[in-house]
Amino acid sequence: MTADMRGAGEAESTGPGSEEQVPLYEEFIYCCGAATQVLKCGPWKDLLESESKTLPRLLFLIIPGNPGLAGYYRTFIRALYHGLNRRYPVWIVSHAGHCKPPNGMGMTEDTDIKELEDVFGLHGQIEHKLDFLRKNVPKDMKLVLIGHSIGCYITLEMMKRASELQVVRSVLLFPTIERMAQSPQGKLLTPVLCKLRYILYMPVYLLSFLPERVKTSMVRFVLRGLKYPDEASVVTSLNLFSVDCVANVLYMASQEMMKVVERDSTTIKQNLKKLTFYYGVADNWCPQQYFEEIKMDFPDGDIRLCEKGIRHAFVLDASREVAAMITDWLQDILTRL
């Protein structure tokens, strides 16, 4: 299934203020026939072929938001792995077709066998993550799933569709799990995403011919409002000058507006003791009203409201802060393992 591996064995720093090196492995694979980027923190590159005595007890798997580019979470997974004292692997799998594949690799696999009918749609992205787990992670491996934004909806669907998964905890960050089109941001963008997204392709196509340094300058200009922008976000954003990537990102987003309507309270109730929700105070995708309503419906749930002013797209400038919070939240689980 692996089509290409880049940066394997390359150690990267955890960031400013840390002299320790963290091994970070980058792979580009076909999963469900679609180009997929995987980032892995820790020495465990292959959990299926490792000897049982060397296997970790737990895998942390990140399910991204949209755009589902793994590179946005590079700093986050390094910080989380470091905060976990390097005891457990921390992986992130991109959404199907959201990454620009390396030279020689197409956006879809050149095969007559179609594994999934609509892998780039919302339903397909859920099955894509389950397929990745089936093909890359032992069935009895304990999991901590960390969803971000639409990744929270996908996480809940994974738990619903594959109850056999050994999930010990799911952390849902800024969860877009209901009424997306009715949210302040949804009201603004739904007409564009559902009816006018095609007109965006031509400008992206024309911009794709610009030199890399010009593209980088444009990204820095867009992110200029951030006090401490994450350098990984600047590099990763260059993927969004690819028409194929942008088309898949917008197509998935259009389905989110149409399909993420009712909160799945049944699945939440069935898994309440395994769930931690983290809502933003001024989040235009999942406003505070949604927090208050779910808190009222599930008073015994671990449902938190951000008091630190962290933005919905936390990976742009608050990756280390969020990683530290998660490490603190999960101490009770980790001590029981």
Q: Compute the distance between CA of residue 249 and CA of residue 213 in angstroms, rounded to an integer.
A: 24
Residues 6+ apart with CB under 8 A from 266: none
Q: What angle do CA 51, 56, 57 make, to 5 degrees?
A: 120
Taking a C-beta distance cutoff of 8 angstroms, is the pair 108, 34 a contact?
yes
Q: At what angle do helices 74-83 and 319-329 cross, to 10 degrees?
A: 40
Q: Compute the distance between CA of residue 252 and CA of residue 228 in angstroms, rounded to an integer.
A: 29
The greatest distance separating any two alpha carbons of the chain, rounded to the nearest whole angstrom, comes to: 54
The three-state secondary structure class of 232 is helix
Active site residue 319: no
**Cα dihedral 76→94→153→14 (10° resolution):** -10
Residue 21 half-sphere exposure toward CB, CA atoms < 13 A? 7
Q: Of these residues, 233, 242, 312, 317, which one is catalytic? A: 312
Q: Of these residues, 94, 149, 170, 233, which one is catalytic? A: 149
Residue 249 half-sphere exposure toward CB, CA atoms < 13 A? 22
Active site residue 98: no
Active site residue 46: no
Secondary structure letter of residue 43 according to DSSP: S
Q: Of these residues, 242, 283, 317, 319, which one is catalytic? A: 283
Q: Compute the distance between CA of residue 291 and CA of residue 156 in angstroms, rounded to an integer.
A: 17
Instruction: State how beta strands 21-31 and 2-6 pair.
Output: antiparallel
Q: Annotated active-site positions, please?
A: 149, 283, 312
